Amino acid sequence: MEKKNRSGAVIFSPYVKGEAVKKVVSMKREDVLFDLRESKLKGRGGAGFPTATKWTLVAAAASTEKYIVCNADEGEPGTFKDRVLLLEYPELVFDGMVIAGYVIGAKLGIVYLRGEYEYMLKSLEDYLETMRKENLLGKDIAGKTGFDFDIIIRLGSGAYVCGEETALIESLEGNRGEARNRPPYPVNTGFMGKPTTVNNVETFAAVSHIVIKGGAWYCNHGTDKSTGSKLFSVSGDCEKPGVYELPWGTKISELLELVGAKNTKAVQVGGASGFCIPKTQFDRALGYEDAATGGSIMIFNESRNMLHVLKNFMEFFVEESCGQCTPCRIGNTKLLEGVEMIEKSEFTFGYINKLKELGKTMQVASKCGLGQSSPNSFISILENFKEEIFNSGGSHGK
Ligand SMILES: Cc1cc2nc3c(=O)[nH]c(=O)nc-3n(C[C@H](O)[C@H](O)[C@H](O)COP(=O)(O)O)c2cc1C
Ligand code: SF4
């Protein structure tokens, strides 16, 4: 696992394997949680839930058995930053999991690894073995009597919904990957019915740095409500696609400049389940205050047909809906049919407006985040690119 020459203010800043683990065992749990609260770190999996709050809830839950789960399902179209972290910076991710185990009082951490990443399984397991040899995993970690913790890796099988934390837990338990009703939440009733924290790969990586450098240092990066930096997976029409670490608050126009994007007409922020932003809004800032994202940035230049882009997203959601609840199962099919009607110029504006209303109903009535977010592209692309889509009569472009 070789590091590329990456640089960044937080995640890609220097870090020595095991240093946060060695430091944390001399700290009180409350002090670690204090640093995390001070950092205002929000989960990097997309929903942006404060990490300190989640960990405090699991730490406080009354149970002798608790679990740490690292969500490495990375199923959102256009995201590949967790792959880079696991391959090039496993020390950050695994040390972050050990820290979580210490703070929460768990004995086992489980990495739920995207099925398509099976090729990295062996190297990750070898890496865990070196951690065991160096007393960074196993019994009495880093010399701390009674602090026992280990990490295992389990593979997913390619279902997008299994990235949703409750479906992921079902899958880990050997069941069909379907979202659970919430509440109860995993912090109380998670893996095997026990208190569990599920966090994104990048969240654990950020924690390792925060333990070493402190919450106040972390807040020096980013904005007031979006502290720290973010890894962005940049793909599409640009000269330099790849993974970039940028402070929250970076404008979309600045990112486009950095990656060598020319003649850009649209940027899809947050993957297929995110929002499509038109050229007139490229001065918007990436962050929780404005354009929030788990990290996927897809760039479309003037040659792209936005109806085709939308069709591609809706086909994905029809395929990936688990079918448990009606708004998502039927709703996504109806939205895709609407796109096909526009394509064939066999639509009325009245019907398309009804579909947009259906999309809004899906956002509130679907059981899990998949159906709650799948209409975002439908609504934002039809709204922001209506002239192109409706004036062209849906003509086929690239
Ligand atoms: C359909 C769907 C797919 C998701 N996929 C992922 C994923 O691949 N990785 C991830 O970290 N979170 C994913 N999430 C979010 C998780 O449910 C959860 O919020 C996250 O893992 C919590 O970690 P965090 O607090 O560190 O962000 C997904 C959510 C939904 C609704
Ligand atoms: S919203 Fe979609 S993916 Fe989620 S439970 Fe309902 S049918 Fe399944």
Does the Cβ of 323 fall within 6 Å of ligand 2?
Answer: yes
- The pLDDT profile of the chain, 398 residues, written as one tens digit per residue, is 667 778 899 999 999 999 999 999 999 999 999 999 999 999 999 889 999 999 999 999 999 999 999 999 999 999 999 999 999 999 999 999 999 999 999 999 999 999 999 999 999 999 999 999 999 999 999 999 999 999 999 999 989 999 999 999 999 999 999 999 999 999 999 999 999 999 999 999 999 999 999 999 999 999 999 999 999 999 999 999 999 999 999 999 999 999 999 999 999 999 999 999 999 999 999 999 999 889 999 999 999 999 999 999 999 999 999 999 999 999 999 999 999 999 999 999 999 999 999 999 999 999 999 999 999 999 999 999 999 999 764 444 33
Q: Take atom 29 of ligand 1 and give the residue whose Cα is closest.
A: 164
Q: Do 297 and 315 belong together in one domain?
A: no
Ligand 1 atom closest to the Cα of residue 47 is: 19
Q: Which of 56, 82, 161, 165 to mutate to test the pocket of ligand 1 (most atoms within 8 A of CB)?
A: 165
Task: Read off the tokens for 79.
Answer: 């995201």
Q: Do 132 and 238 belong together in one domain?
A: no
The domain boundary, picked from 301, 332, 362, lies at 301
Cα distance between residue 270 and residue 116, in whole Å:
20
Spell out the residues 6+ positions from residue 41 whose beta carbon is closer than 8 angstroms to its own. Answer: 50, 51, 52, 203, 206, 207, 210, 218, 227, 228
For residue 387, the CA-to-ligand 2 centroid distance in Å is 32
Crossing angle of helices 349-365 and 326-343, in 10° steps, is 160
For residue 162, the CA-to-ligand 2 centroid distance in Å is 11
Per residue in 126-177, pLDDT tens? 999 999 999 999 999 999 999 999 999 999 998 999 999 999 999 999 999 9
The structural domain count of the chain equals 3
For residue 369, the CA-to-ligand 2 centroid distance in Å is 7
Question: What is the secondary structure of 338-394 as a DSSP string?
Answer: HHHHHHTT---HHHHHHHHHHHHHHHHH-SSHHHHHTHHHHHHHHHHTHHHHHHTTT
Instruction: Assign residue 344 the CATH number of its domain.
Output: 1.20.1440.230
For residue 336, the CA-to-ligand 1 centroid distance in Å is 24
**Is there a domain that residue 397 lies in?**
no
Q: Which helix (H) or strand (E) holds 110?
A: strand 108-113
Amino acid at 229: S
Q: Do 43 and 186 belong together in one domain?
A: yes
Q: Take atom 8 of ligand 2 and give the residue whose Cα is closest.
A: 322
Q: Which ligand is nearest to the CA of 272?
A: 1
Q: Do 23 and 139 belong together in one domain?
A: yes
Cα distance between residue 186 and residue 183, in whole Å:
8
Q: Do 85 and 104 belong together in one domain?
A: yes
pTM confidence score: 0.96
Q: Do 54 and 143 belong together in one domain?
A: yes
Neighbours of 198 (CB within 10 A): 29
Which residue range(s) make up the domain with 111?
Answer: 19-219
